[in-house]
């Protein structure tokens, strides 16, 4: 039986348009806001310090990865559409020492081919996609059991 490490610090970073969860393309992304879901996540993992950052701006996502990526126990990153375009975010992940898990709410491989390529996958510890908001919980699970 694997035990959960106490006092872990995990940062969830959401990229562009993910501030609209609950309102945005609900048939794909569901009808819950991220803040609502996050409250549940914090209850489930009461012994994990879960911080949260969202930005629609590529450079702000990179700055956050730089700021936290040398001391935090893990970063869970949903880079949104930047996943498929951003070499700069990929370089930021490669530069830091904290493990980063790539997360997607939708199964990107079932969708348009432009969403099949990820710039971040090769520099992440692993990737989780297609489980709705539960993808984030699965990522925390992977970090706490690491
Ligand atoms: C997404 C998938 C991306 O292709 C898309 O651009 C998003 C959300 C997801 O969580 O399923 O914004 O990252």
**How far is the C-alpha of 16 from the C-alpha of 46, rounded, in Å?**
28
Domains of the chain: 8-145 (3.40.50.9100)
Which ligand 1 atom sits closest to the C-alpha of 103?
A: 10
- Tell me the per-residue pLDDT of 15-65, one tens digit each, with 9 for 90 and over: 999 999 999 999 999 999 999 999 999 999 999 999 999 999 999 999 999
Nearest to 13 by CA among 70, 73, 55: 55
Give the residues surrounding ligand 1 with Cβ less than 6 Å away: 17, 78, 80-81, 83, 104-106, 108, 115
Separation of CA 83 and ligand 1 centre (Å): 8
68 within 8 A of 76, measured Cβ to Cβ: no
Mutate-to-test residue for ligand 1 from 23, 29, 106, highest number of ligand atoms within 8 A of CB: 106
pTM of the model: 0.95
- Tell me the per-residue pLDDT of 127-138, one tens digit each, with 9 for 90 and over: 999 999 999 999
Q: Which of 37, 45, 82, 104 is catalytic?
A: 104
70 belongs to the catalytic site? no
């Amino acid at each position: 039986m694997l035990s959960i490490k106490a006092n872990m610090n995990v940062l969830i970073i959401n990229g562009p348009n993910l501030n609209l969860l609950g309102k945005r393309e609900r048939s794909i992304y569901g009808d819950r806001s991220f803040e609502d879901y996050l409250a549940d996540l914090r209850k489930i993992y009461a012994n994990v310090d879960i911080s949260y950052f969202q930005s629609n701006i590529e450079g702000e996502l990179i700055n956050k990865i730089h700021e936290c990526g040398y001391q935090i126990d893990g970063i869970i990153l949903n880079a949104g559409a930047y996943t498929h375009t951003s070499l700069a975010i990929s370089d930021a992940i490669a530069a830091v020492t904290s493990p980063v898990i790539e997360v997607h709410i939708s199964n990107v491989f079932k969708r348009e081919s432009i969403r099949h390529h990820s710039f971040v996958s090769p520099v992440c510890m692993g990737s989780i996609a297609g489980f709705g908001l539960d993808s984030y919980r699965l990522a925390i699970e992977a970090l706490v059991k690491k």
